[in-house]
Amino acid sequence: MESRTILHSDINSCYASIELLHHPKLRGKPVAVGGNPENRHGIVLTADYIAKGFGVKTGMPLWQARQLCPEITFLPPRMELYLRFSKMAQEIYSEYTDLQQAFGIDESWLDVTASCSIKGEGKSIADEIRQRMKKELGITVSIGVSWNKIFAKLGSDYKKPDAITEINKDNYKYIAWNLPVKDLLYVGKSTNRKLNVLGIRTIGELANTVPEVLKGQLGKMGLILHSFANGWDDSPVRQESYENNLKSVGNSTTTPRDLKTNRDIKIVINILSESVGTRLRENGFKCQGVELSVRDNELFCFSRQRKLKNSTNITNEIAEAAYQLFKENYNWDKPIRSIGVRGIDLIENCICEQLDLFSEEKLRTKLMKTDKMVDSIRERFGFYSIQRGVMLQDKGLSSLNAKEEHIVHPHGYFE
């Protein structure tokens, strides 16, 4: 296989950087985006570099962030704004390649191999993109340059903010192999502990470990990580268009604690399904299918889809389909760290369709009216003014407000 030129572009402190463009008086002060500080719930979605200097981290409860940094300013998330900036960034990327693959709202891989003969080598292209992002969007990016996706991502994480790092076949043993093994994609806390037990603390030590030993400790994932560490990743950058018409509405979240029971799953799926159903109704759509994505506490992901008998924007029907997908496809080998629910194959609400002879249309009509009433109450009195009974079983999990405080997570690398 011919050598490729892959970039990984990562917007530095994405949400906070975008908010600072709209709150210039906060520049030079510690800022974080996330949750609802007045109600004392929620987590930090991102923090600027000043707040990070005090130890504030993504996923940290707001009260804990306040203890570490008393002067911090919390700003509520505005996902529509961040998505708009993400799309503008993708428009810039599209001028260099049509092979661009998003890895969350703030990260993208770019295969610029075909552009090198016109635009110059990968590092030059990366520098041009870096300067354009700063000049045209007012935000900074860190970009990794390599011959594979894994090392390109390591490069974008290597220096922050506003930096370029090239990891090539001449220097990868010096740069990548000396990094802590936890910096490698898909080495979470649990996997890191298992590798440490084997005496593996750097990526280089992982690369030089006998594969059979890793397989015995980590299963198939051990072999995958061994390939990643050696730079043997030949997975392509998938072609994705930022101009696609709306085809799905979804939401995902990392929960306040790992999920360990079906009851936990049911609570979070209902919360996410409410978000999906509400957005479908607000925008005049129904979905013809439901997709469930699951990520366990070792960061391994999978997703499954199901076609529905009737198109719907009813919260109950979306939640039931997602829960059935979970029960049919997960056997609780490991606790769950995050879940996503998505309505797919959208059609306009006004489109007529053939009814199912055996469906209970009277019940469906009542559920539709109930959902609209819930939407109306929440619009007037806030999300927590009315909740479903299932959410009262666990106040910690039910404190998630998936519609207003939702978190967009990376797509699974293996999907």
Instruction: Kindly report the number of other CB atoms within 10 A of residue 398's CB atom.
Output: 18
Measured CA to CA, the distance from residue 132 to residue 95 in angstroms comes to 11
User: 34 near 13, Cβ under 8 Å?
Assistant: no
User: 258 near 342, Cβ under 8 Å?
Assistant: no
Catalytic site includes residue 107: yes
Task: Let me know if 227 is exposed, middle or buried by CB neighbors in 10 A (0-12, 13-18, 19+).
Answer: middle
DSSP state of 41: B
Collect contacts of 220-227 with beta carbons under 8 A, ≥24 apart. 221/186, 221/191, 221/298, 221/300, 224/186, 225/184, 225/186, 225/187, 225/191
Q: Which residues contact 298 (CB under 8 A, 6 or more apart)?
A: 186, 188, 190, 191, 221, 334
Name the catalytic one among 2, 80, 107, 205: 107
Q: Six-digit token pair at 56? A: 């504030």
Q: Six-digit token pair at 328? A: 């049919």
Measured CA to CA, the distance from residue 203 to residue 176 in angstroms comes to 7
Task: Name beta bridge partners: 338.
Answer: 254, 295
Query: Virtual CA dihedral for 348, 354, 357, 361, nearest 10 degrees?
Result: 30
DSSP 236-287: ------TTPPP-EEEEEEEEEEEE-SHHHHHHHHHHHHHHHHHHHHHHTEEE
Question: What is each CA distance from 63 to 9, 257, 399, in whole angstroms?
Answer: 31, 16, 15
Which residues are annotated as catalytic?
107
